[in-house]
Amino acid sequence: MSALLPVSLAVLTDDPLVGFAQAVEEAGRVLDGLRLGVAREFDNRTDETLGEDSLARKLGAKRPWGALETVTRTSAKDARERVAEARRLAKFAVLEAAVEAGVLGRAQAVAIMEPLLPAADRADTALVEAACENLVDLSKVLPATAVVEAAEAWALVLDPDGVEPVEKAAVEKRFFRLGRAKDGLVKFSGALPVEQAAAVRALLDAYVNPRAGASVMFTPNAADDSNDVEDGRQKPMLTATETEPPTDTRTPDQKRADVMHAVFAAAARAPETPTMGGSHPTVLVVVPKDDFETGHGAARIDGEDEPVSAKTAKRIAETGGYQEVQIDSAGKILNLGDTKRCATVWQRKALAVRDKGCIIPGCTMPARWCEVHHIRPDRDGGPTDILNLTLLCWFHHNDIDTGPYQLRMGDDRTPEIRWTFGSHATEWIKAIHTPKRDLSTAT
């Protein structure tokens, strides 16, 4: 470096620094060409038919990348990649020549090759060469991302039917899998064909991305800005004023998780959903009676390895109902009580008409995705009556007892809401489903 640069980089003015950066890249491309050329020759001279004359064997290795690693002291991964890239380049004479001449660097060549590889064996050779020549010319004046987009466009020209077999293979590989519970969380993994993923993404974006439309926005916050898409874990601070409701403190990733849960919960309640043993898919929660009544203690969900809180069990029962089972110390059933539904189907329909969705300002969860909440808790004698019920999404239902919002039933028999900010509380206003945060209709 000292031989190439007589002075420190820090003392260069802008124009010399730009010129030096370009010179370094040109030198780097030449070195890349030499490195891949060496890898190709190591590969050629390690043919198994050469026996003891194999270069790799002479160097105490079995494979060309092992010999390359020994000689160059590069990493095993890099040595293997060099050999693999040299082999792939052999399919594209134009690209290979450009790399050898120092016109293309390794990264540029790989980025161009990847979209073209599936079509290379099926497309007309002359057309492939024309595509490569065009892409090499573009690489001289455009950044790598733009050249990759051009390569993807060329791939469709070279093999217009090539997408179909890829698509068929993707359909065969699709899966969705739930793991086991650990530390209160259940991991899931999966892979979806592009078509299915697009449908899921469109639904999630509609409820998570504020740019999707004003009628389907969570309370806007900094974490939803398009610049933060790469990091969906950024959590905004809770802020509120007398006129502005508290910000939604969920990260974009958390919102997506909540939407997915709401979709599945709503599907489980849908009339057309297949039944299991005569009932719709049901989350079975077992909790001691005393814990259920006090909201303290632990409960078990059938099929899950870890417990949930009694408070969670009580919230689940608010939406789905519960049944009292009396057992003795040996686990023998002594008495089976009637199923007690905390909200009937008809009450849910009436709530959907009145509340239209989650009544927390700024929340866009529609009624069919919401849970039923007792404004006055049943432990305090609150009845399961339409005048004591309202709709909340899962997140706000889970947060209502400890979060900034408070609910009550107004004199006109509709829910009212207020929120705290600092040590102050706002005036009570009508709790109307207002996803646009327009509270003018809620006063």
Q: What is the pLDDT of residues 158-197, one digit of tens each?
A: 877 665 666 677 777 888 888 888 888 888 888 877 767 7
Higher pLDDT, residue 5 or 225: 5
Q: Is 291 helix (H, G, I), strand (E, B) or coil?
A: helix
pLDDT, mean of residues 312-326: 75
CA distance 337 to 344: 18
In this prediction, residue 254 carries a pLDDT of 82
With vertex at residue 179, the alpha carbon angle to CA 174 and CA 181, rounded to the nearest 5 degrees, is 160
Length of the chain as a residue count: 443
In this prediction, residue 224 carries a pLDDT of 43
Q: Is 64 helix (H, G, I), strand (E, B) or coil?
A: helix
> Burial, 382: exposed, middle or buried (Cβ in 10 Å; 0-12, 13-18, 19+)?
middle
In this prediction, residue 351 carries a pLDDT of 93
pLDDT, mean of residues 118-136: 87
In sequence order, what DSSP letters do the residues of 33-47 get, joined into one string? HHHHHHHHHHHHTT-
Strands 175-182 and 185-191: what pairing?
A: antiparallel
Helix (H) or strand (E) holding 88, with range, is helix 76-89
> What digits encode the pLDDT tens for the residues 355-391?
999 999 888 888 888 889 999 887 778 888 899 999 9
Is the confidence at residue 281, as pLDDT, over 70?
A: no
Confidence band for 202, pLDDT divided at 50, 70 and 90: low
| CA 366 vs CA 102, 237, 401: distances in Å | 59, 25, 21
Cβ atoms within 10 Å, residue 355: 21
